[in-house]
């Protein structure tokens, strides 16, 4: 039987590779790892504690909610607050309005964001740099700054208490344009140039070449848009007068007793119901969202 003697160079390279693989772990001290885990645990507690408190309060009766010191478990458990959400306000109307507003705004913002990002990334036209600077500058302006001017314009158009008055001013695409443009610029130039050599038009290149390589980022953009529009409160509160157009966050503010005080039990129950659709969507798409937001961050 013949044996093959190991080559010294191969052994040395293997040792160097093994050392490179284990070096980061060796440089991390146990104390640093414990500190990292404690920091991570603190962040988890800070994030999860408000959610836990909302859920527990929604299952308490009214005396238990105002008990001092506070109780961390309902005593007794009750589902009356969830029944009060359905009877106290027009919950189905608010839910319908939230679905309509979120769906329309998501479709509009994603469509315009992709098209504008594609134009700023691959098309050549006069003023392209100026348009890009305008998009970036608009990201730095808080929405609250434009509330008064937008309100006056919408009121002059007669759009108060209408879906158009709520949706149109919120259909800005600056964030989506910036996010998708950065992703489009990270795509392999060889593939884009090959499509151009094949005389692919802009729409064909977008649909056949660019979008198939952009689904993770596009899903992340869509999920961020859904969460943001589902939780819109200030602008719909100014525009909507009743349950015909007001979304769920505005409807929850109507859960007050006859003395004008907030009835926290039904409010927390309504908050739980409002969070559930977004939580389900996030759990289903979180892997694509993380992949899309980290795309291009790691070069391998």
Q: Identify which has the larger pLDDT, 282 or 18.
A: 282
Are 187 and 73 found together in one domain?
no
Are 73 and 110 part of one and the same domain?
no
Handedness of CA 292, 295, 297, 300 (dihedral sign): positive
Does residue 299 carry a pLDDT above 70? no
123 and 232 share a domain?
Answer: yes
What is the average pLDDT across 50-75? Answer: 86
164: helix, coil or strand?
helix
Name the region of 171 (left: φ>0; alpha: ψ -120 to 50; beta: rest): alpha
**Number of residues that make up the chain:** 300
pLDDT score recorded for residue 167: 92
pLDDT digits (tens, 9 = 90+) for 210-238: 888 888 888 888 988 998 899 888 899 88
pLDDT at 249 over 60: yes
Residues 231 and 131 in one domain: yes
User: Is the pLDDT confidence value at 109 over 90?
Assistant: yes
Question: Is 153 part of a structural domain of the chain?
Answer: yes
d(CA 102, CA 300) in angstroms, rounded, equals 37
pLDDT bin (cut points 50, 70, 90) of residue 258 is: low
Q: Domain for residue 22, yes or no? A: no
- Residue 25 located in a structural domain: no
Confidence band, pLDDT 50/70/90 cuts, at residue 156: very high
Same domain as 63, residue 106: no
Q: 46, 77, 108 — which closes off a domain?
A: 77
Report the candidate in 248, 253, 227 with the shortest Cα–Cα distance to residue 93. 248
Residue with token string 């979120």? 102
61 and 201 part of one domain:
no
293 has a pLDDT exceeding 60: yes
Question: What pLDDT was estimated at residue 115?
Answer: 93
Q: Are residues 135 and 45 in the same domain?
A: no
pLDDT of residue 260: 59
Res 127: pLDDT? 87
Model confidence at 1, pLDDT cuts 50, 70, 90, reads very low
CA-derived radius of gyration, the chain: 27
Which of the four pLDDT bands, split at 50, 70 and 90, describes residue 26? low
Domain shared by 142 and 244, yes or no: yes
Confidence of residue 295 (pLDDT cuts 50, 70, 90): low
Tokens read off for 96: 């319908």
Question: 175 near 223, Cβ under 8 Å?
Answer: no
Residue 4 lies in a domain: no
pLDDT for 175 equals 87
Q: Are 155 and 149 in contact (CB under 8 A)?
A: no
State whether 120 and 41 are in the same domain.
no
pLDDT of residue 102: 93
CA distance 45 to 297: 28
- CATH number of the domain bearing residue 121: 1.10.3720.10
Instruction: Tell me which residue range forms the domain holding 101.
Output: 91-297
Q: Considering 77, 105, 140, which residue would you say is the last residue of a domain?
A: 77
* Residues 124 and 249 occupy one common structural domain: yes
First to last CA, the chain: 42
178 with 135: CB under 8 angstroms? yes
Question: Do the domain assignments include residue 84?
Answer: no
219 neighbors 294 (Cβ within 8 angstroms): no
For the chain, percent of residues with pLDDT exceeding 70: 84
- Decide if pLDDT at 17 tops 80: no
Banded pLDDT at 99 (limits 50, 70, 90): very high
Choosing from 44, 77, 110, the residue where a domain stops is: 77
Q: Give the separation between CA 164 and CA 158, rounded to whole angstroms.
A: 10
Residue 165 in domain: yes
Beta-strand runs (E) in the chain: none
Is residue 211 a part of any domain in this protein?
A: yes
Are residues 168 and 192 located together in one domain of the fold?
yes
- Find residue 262's DSSP bridge partners: 256
Query: Mean of the pLDDT values across residues 157-186?
Result: 89
Q: Is the pLDDT of residue 116 over 70?
A: yes
Contacts of 21 (CB under 8 A, 6+ apart): none
Q: Give phi and psi for 160, each to the nearest 5.
A: -65, 145
Q: Which residue has the higher pLDDT, 87 or 161?
A: 161
Q: What is the mean pLDDT of residues 276-291?
A: 79
Tell whether 117 is covered by a domain: yes
Q: List, in sequence order, every residue forming a beta bridge with 256; answer none if it has no partner.
A: 262
Rounding to the nearest 10 degrees, give the CA dihedral for residues 54, 44, 289, 250.
20
Pair 241, 109 in one domain: yes
- Where is 253: in which H helix or E strand? none
Structural domains in the chain (count): 2
């Amino acid at each position: 039987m013949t044996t093959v003697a190991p080559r010294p160079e191969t052994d040395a390279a293997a040792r160097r590779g093994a050392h490179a693989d284990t070096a980061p772990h060796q440089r991390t001290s146990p104390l640093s790892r414990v500190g990292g885990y404690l920091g991570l645990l603190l962040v988890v507690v800070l994030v999860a504690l408000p959610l836990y408190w909302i859920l527990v309060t929604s299952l308490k009766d009214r005396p238990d909610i105002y008990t001092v010191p506070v109780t961390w478990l309902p005593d007794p458990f009750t589902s009356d607050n969830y029944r009060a959400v359905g009877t106290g306000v027009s919950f189905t109307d608010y839910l319908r309005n939230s679905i309509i507003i979120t769906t329309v705004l998501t479709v509009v913002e994603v469509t315009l964001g992709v098209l504008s990002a594609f134009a700023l990334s691959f098309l050549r036209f006069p003023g392209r740099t100026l348009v890009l600077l305008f998009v970036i500058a608009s990201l730095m302006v808080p929405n609250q700054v434009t509330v008064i001017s937008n309100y006056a314009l919408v009121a002059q158009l007669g759009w108060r208490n209408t879906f158009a008055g709520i949706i149109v001013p919120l259909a800005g695409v600056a964030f989506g344009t910036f996010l998708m443009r950065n992703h489009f610029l990270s795509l392999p130039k060889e593939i884009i140039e090959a499509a151009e050599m094949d005389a692919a038009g802009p729409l064909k290149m977008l649909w056949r070449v660019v979008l198939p390589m952009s689904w993770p980022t596009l899903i992340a953009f869509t999920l961020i848009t859904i969460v943001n529009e589902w939780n819109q409160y200030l602008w719909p509160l100014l525009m909507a007068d009743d349950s015909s157009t007001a979304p769920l966050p505005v409807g929850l503010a109507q859960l007050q007793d006859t003395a004008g005080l907030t009835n926290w039990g039904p409010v927390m129950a309504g908050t739980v119901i409002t969070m559930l659709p977004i939580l389900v969507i996030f759990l289903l798409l979180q892997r694509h969202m993380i992949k899309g937001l980290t795309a291009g961050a790691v070069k391998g």
